[in-house]
Amino acid sequence: MNEQLIKQEIHDAIIRAVTGISDDVKGLLEEALAKETNPTAQSMLSAMLENLSIAKAADKGVCQSPGYPTSWLSFGDGNLPHDIKSTIMEALGEATKKGYLRPSIVDPLTRENSGNNTGKGVPNVEFEYNPGQEYVDFIISFKGCGAELGNAIQIMTPAKLGKDLVGLKRFIIETAINAGGKPCPPFGIGIGIGGQMDMCAKMSRKAISTRRWDDVNPDPQLAALEKELKDEINSLGIGAAGTGGDTVCLAVKMERAHTHTAICPVAINFHCWVARRAGVRIYNDGRVEKLL
Amino acid sequence: MKEYKLTTPVSESEARGLKLGDVVYVSGHIFTSRDMAHLKYKALLESGDPLPKDFAGAAIFHAGPVCLKQPDGSWKLQLIGPTTSIRMEPYAEMVGKMGAKLIIGKGGMGDDTLAACAKYGYVYLQAAPGCAAKLAQGVKAVKDVTYFELGMPEALWDLEVENFGPLVVGMDSEGNSVYHSLKKAAIEKMEKDYPL
């Protein structure tokens, strides 16, 4: 395993993530603008796409808020990179110094700013070991935190799920209505279902941060739910920026895990349209593929 | 829907003339303030001490910029965009009393703000969310920074702006809120589509 190659690829992915949004989300924004009928929403969506061009031309970040960095790293036998956190922290420090990232990570109680976008538990790295996997997958996502204000979690019960899951659907739709313009719509929604509270919360972030927003869930029941909920939420008229329009939601992404017979934990996690994330697959033999 | 070019300080009659959906561009000065700066103002007002800026006719922007310090000690603004305004809802009455006429942010605010808009004659303006490179083009200079010890996002940045926008009137001084009306219609539709 080439440690130097991995370090370089992780560094490059982080810089790529903070200077643009992933191609799938940009494509969905363009589609939303093409079919938008509300003039205010048209101007908001145009401003978003124009902002991407300005940021690119001026070599600036896309959004002033760097959000919160979480990474997912999966590895196989004998290819876990050494001291991955230091590599990520160095890249975060460099991106902060260059003005791509505003120093925004603080102690939760004293509110003291660390000045370099790292701190206790930051960056968060989620590790996954897959026996026999002959590559390392690394994805980093910077998720804005205004979007967090709309998030919700509920330990549902069989009775609360309701007939044809109407209770579950209402919980998700109502949460999207209450979030309205707060999570910088058009937003994406990650939903974790099952496990206990901690597991469903982690699944909700992983679903919206690591999947392409234009993919189709291989689980047919979840694929149908994702489509139904996205269409319903868009039909509510909330629109880009939350000031009215045809598209408030670019994607709904769900993940499930088995749970206990008494409960059904559900976590709803919003992601702003500024989907700053990047990912790479680095094979043991040195080949590299872009994931996001 | 009309388009307005306003210069700070903004008068009460100018603010009261703005209607839901109007488009506004601001020139003059904008003061950034978010959670921690609002807490500071509250403490100063309670103790009877002077505020760091004259807020009469002011534009308060719920935002924390990315600024880079230059070799000569001045600040260069890189990026600026709105933060989620609802966190500042507890200060609806206070900013009205302070004399602010334009509150700029994203996502809208609540009932207390709507009432204070009518009482004091100020409006809430929605900026395009996540458009920090574009909005930064309207900022001509950083005049100064107060409370830098709170951290870059939470400090009070006094920015010189020219045609800063576009900003859309999301809440006016006549009790109208685009956020409230959209939410009401959305809940009605959900009740129809997914009855319990």
What number is the ipTM of this complex? 0.93
Whether residue B107 and residue A146 make contact (CB cut-off 8 A), yes or no, is yes
Summary mean pLDDT of chain B:
97
Distance CA B186, CA B196 (A): 16
User: A3-18 and A84-97 helices cross at what angle (nearest 10)?
Assistant: 40
pLDDT of residue A263: 98
Q: Which residues of A, range 237-276, sit inside 8 Å of B by Cβ? A: 237-239, 241-244, 272-274
Residues of chain B in contact with residue A55, where contact means CB-CB under 8 angstroms, are 132-133
Indicate whether A2 pLDDT > 90. no
A193 in B contact zone (CB under 8 Å): no
Banded model confidence at residue A20, pLDDT cuts 50, 70, 90: very high
**A18, A52, A64, best to mutate vs chain B, most B CBs in 10 Å:** A64
Whether residue B107 and residue A182 make contact (CB cut-off 8 A), yes or no, is yes
Lookup result for tokens 């700070």 = B8
pLDDT per residue over B71-102, tens digit each?
A: 999 999 999 999 999 999 999 999 999 999 99
Q: Model pTM?
A: 0.95
Cβ atoms A38, A239 nearer than 8 A: yes
Cβ atoms A192, A200 nearer than 8 A: yes
pLDDT > 70 fraction of chain B, expressed in percent and rounded = 100
Summary mean pLDDT of chain A:
95
Q: Of the listed B29, B38, B62, B180, which one is catalytic?
A: B38
- Closest C-alpha among A264, A258, A251, A148 to residue A207: A251
At B36, the amino acid letter reads M
Whether residue A182 and residue B182 make contact (CB cut-off 8 A), yes or no, is no
pLDDT per residue over A120-138, tens digit each?
A: 999 999 999 999 999 999 9
Distance CA A283, CA A285 (A): 5
Residues of chain B in contact with residue A104, where contact means CB-CB under 8 angstroms, are 64, 151-153
**B79, B104, B137, B142, best to mutate vs chain A, most A CBs in 10 Å:** B79
Domains detected in chain B? 3-193 (3.20.130.10)
Lookup result for tokens 């703005």 = B18
Banded model confidence at residue B1, pLDDT cuts 50, 70, 90: confident
Count of CB atoms situated within 10 Å of the CB of A85: 13
- Closest C-alpha among A130, A131, A142 to residue A73: A130
pLDDT per residue over A190-243, tens digit each?
A: 999 999 999 999 999 999 999 999 999 999 999 999 999 999 999 999 999 999
Burial tier of B142 (Cβ tally within 10 Å: 0-12, 13-18, 19+): middle
Indicate whether A3 pLDDT > 90. no
Indicate whether A1 pLDDT > 70. no
Lookup result for tokens 């039909």 = A235
Distance CA A54, CA A48 (A): 10
Domains detected in chain A? 3-20+61-144+275-290 (3.30.360), 147-271 (no CATH)
At B100, the amino acid letter reads A
Cβ atoms B181, B115 nearer than 8 A: no
A106 in B contact zone (CB under 8 Å): yes
Vertex B102 angle, CA A100 and A52, to 5°: 30
Residues of chain A in contact with residue B137, where contact means CB-CB under 8 angstroms, are 54
Distance CA A191, CA B114 (A): 32
